Structures are given as C-alpha cells and as structure tokens.
Structure 1
Amino acid sequence: MSNRQSPNARLVGRGRLLAVPIWLYLGLIGVAVLVFGGISMSLVIGIPFTLLALFGLASIAYARVWVDGPTLYSRHVFGYREPIRMDELLRAELTGFERYRGRQLWLTRADGKRVVLDATNLRLKPLYGELARYIPAGSSTANPLLHKRMEAARPIIAVPPPSAATESSWTT
C-alpha cells in the first residue's frame, strides 16, 4: 500500500489558521533578537526562535490528513507517514495540552504501529467525525477526551444522506 492518498480521498485535517499568529509572534521575537541583540543573544535566542517559527509555519502550510474509506493518510513537513486503517485501531487517544508538545492525537494499530497527529496546529474536527464511524460511543478504544470530541460529530454522521427520491419530492 502506498503512503500517498488516492485522488478520491477526502481531506479531514489541515493547518489551523488560528495557530499562525503564535508562530509569527515567535518569529518576530527571533528576528528582533537577531537584528537588535548581540552575537550571543542571536545564537541563544534569535536563531532558535526564528527556526522554530519557520518550522511551525511550514507545518501549518504543508501538513494534511486524508481519509479514503477506512484508511487514514497523513503528511507532515518531513513527508508522508505510513497509512493506518481506522477499523484496525487498538487505541485512539487525544492528549491534553502538554507543555512542550501541545495536544496530540495518537492512533495505535493492533500490531503496535502508531500515527501521531498534531492536534494543536491541525484542524481535525472532520477527522473526529470519521473516527466516530469506527469507534462506538463508550468504547474503551478511545480515551474520554477523544470521546467528547467525537460525540459532537456523532449526530451529524448518524443522519443518512437524503435519497434522490426524497430530493425530488422537495423540489416539486
């Protein structure tokens, strides 16, 4: 199986625009220290802050998550990750906001392979709806925080799409 998504895969996660100002602020601090600080301040603060901000902005621009049936594909700054099947998940956990990592979504298969998605810089709301299709309410597969996010999407996915016959009766 290829690590790249098929052309008919649906986008369910992309960079969160609300994270851009934070990364720009860090970049501004880094550039200001590079310009106005001395050599030691530039080496200690300016360069690391600027590089960190550039990496954060690149991850927002480049990171994506797609779903094609039960298969989840993801891409980050360093390339495509190995796809994971949502119907084979052993554990799905949404972490709380951690000091040096932010919030992450860990998806673990039965064979122990794990995909980690950045839930801080990615907007994953559509993905929570897709996960709700494969993880029943109250299941021990997901942790309570993830169940809370999936619960908001459950009523939307529980309603079947209208059939062609129903649509034609609305227009007449």
Structure 2
Amino acid sequence: MDQPKRPGPNARVVGRGRMLALPIWLYLLLIGVAVVYFGGFSGSLLIGIPFTLLALFGLTSIARSRVWVDGPLLYSRNAFGYRPPMRLDELGSAALTSFGRNRGRQLLLTTRDGTHLHLDATNLRLKPLYGELARFIPEGSSVANPLLHKRMSAQRPAVAVDAPRWPM
C-alpha cells in the first residue's frame, strides 16, 4: 500500500525556508518592479516582468517549502505541492552538491529502488535534516558523499572516547 503524501500528526519539521535568502528575493522583486514602473515597454518585457516573476516564485518557495520526518519516512513539499515520501532506511545514495554555475547547493537523495528526491539546500534550512540523516547513514559510509558527511558529523552526538571512569 502506498504511503500518503502528507505527513502525519507526529511528524517533525526538519527543513523550512531559509530567512537569509529572503533579502535576495526581495531585492530581485524591487529591481523587477522598478524596471516595470520606470523602464518603459521593452524594459518591462525584457527585464522587469521576468525578474518580478522569478522573485515571486522564490518568495513562494521560501514560504511553502517544508521537510518533515516521521520515523524513517521523509516527507517534503515545495512550491508546487507535496512529493511522494521517501524511506530513509532504504537510502542507496545521498549527496550534497557544491554550488553550481546555474544552480545553488542541492541535497540529492536516492533509495535503493530508484526513488529520487532533490532538495534545495540553498533556500532551505536543512540543519535538522542532517541530524536525521546521521541516524540512518553511518559515519564513513559510501552512501553519502564527503560534503554531506561533513554536515552530518556536525550534527552527530559527541561521544567522549577518553571519558574518566568512575570508581566502583
């Protein structure tokens, strides 16, 4: 039986829109609106309207995007709606990309049965998700790439190796 796309009442939010991205989208919106207002017909068509639409999409994405974890299930929603859930205990690969030329940082998750999930790690705050991934991906595992291991290692609980022993 297929899992519902929406998270249950016990799901925890582990990713949401990053507020640090808000000024950039507001700046693009300001540029777009200013060019529409002052730029004339051709400036509006070439620059103003595309910048305004892009900024409105970015702001909508920040406001609507969420990631939840309910046990081993990962639920996500972007500006276009809910995506099918993914089982974290069946991950085949997980990679955090570097910033690309035309794309920001992405978190790419793939299960062993081939289900893919792409999360925008530039506009989403995914720090709590890295802690959840650390529960399912052991340290040094080949499932995750080195950049993701670095992010997960900061979220793993610290284990004191040379802790003093109490006398019995």
- For the criterion TM > 0.5, the same-fold answer is yes
Q: Which amino acid aligns with 1:131?
A: L
Q: Which runs of 4 or more aligned residues in structure 1 lie more than 4 Å from their structure 2 counterparts after TM superposition?
A: none
Q: Which amino acid aligns with 1:6?
A: G
Please name the residue that 1:76 is paired with: 78
Structure 1 residue 51: deviation in Å?
0.3
SS at structure 2 position matched to 1:32? helix
Whole-angstrom CA distance in 2 between matches of 1:56 and 1:17:
12
Structure 1 residue 148: deviation in Å?
0.3
SS at structure 2 position matched to 1:51? helix
SS at structure 2 position matched to 1:155? coil
Q: Which amino acid aligns with 2:127?
A: K
**Which of 17, 20, 37 is equivalent to 1:18?**
20
SS at structure 2 position matched to 1:138? coil
**Which of 136, 139, 157 is equivalent to 1:137?**
139
Please name the residue that 1:109 is paired with: 111
Structure 1 residue 48: deviation in Å?
0.5
Please name the residue that 1:86 is paired with: 88
> Percent identity at matched positions?
72
RMSD between superposed Cα atoms in Å: 1.2
Whole-angstrom CA distance in 1 between matches of 2:10 and 2:71:
10
Structure 1 residue 95: deviation in Å?
0.5
Count of aligned positions: 158
Q: Which amino acid aligns with 2:17?
A: G
Instruction: Could you tell me which runs of 5 or more consecutive residues in structure 2 were left unpaired when the two chains were aligned.
Output: 161-168
Structure 1 residue 111: deviation in Å?
1.5
Instruction: Could you tell me which runs of 5 or more consecutive residues in structure 1 were left unpaired when the two chains were aligned.
Output: 160-172
Structure 1 residue 99: deviation in Å?
2.4
Whole-angstrom CA distance in 1 between matches of 2:131 and 2:59:
26
Q: C-alpha offsets along residues 18-56 of structure 1, whole Å, 9 cap, x if unaligned?
A: 000000001111011101102111111100000000000
Q: Which amino acid aligns with 1:8?
A: N
Structure 1 residue 144: deviation in Å?
0.5
2:156 aligned with 1:154, yes or no?
yes
Q: Which amino acid aligns with 2:135?
A: R
Whole-angstrom CA distance in 2 between matches of 1:100 and 1:45:
18
Whole-angstrom CA distance in 2 between matches of 1:129 and 1:93:
15
Q: C-alpha offsets along residues 64-92 of structure 1, whole Å, 9 cap, x if unaligned?
A: 00000010000001000010000000000
SS at structure 1 position matched to 2:154? helix
Structure 1 residue 100: deviation in Å?
1.8
Q: Which amino acid aligns with 1:3?
A: K
TM-score, normalising length from structure 1? 0.89
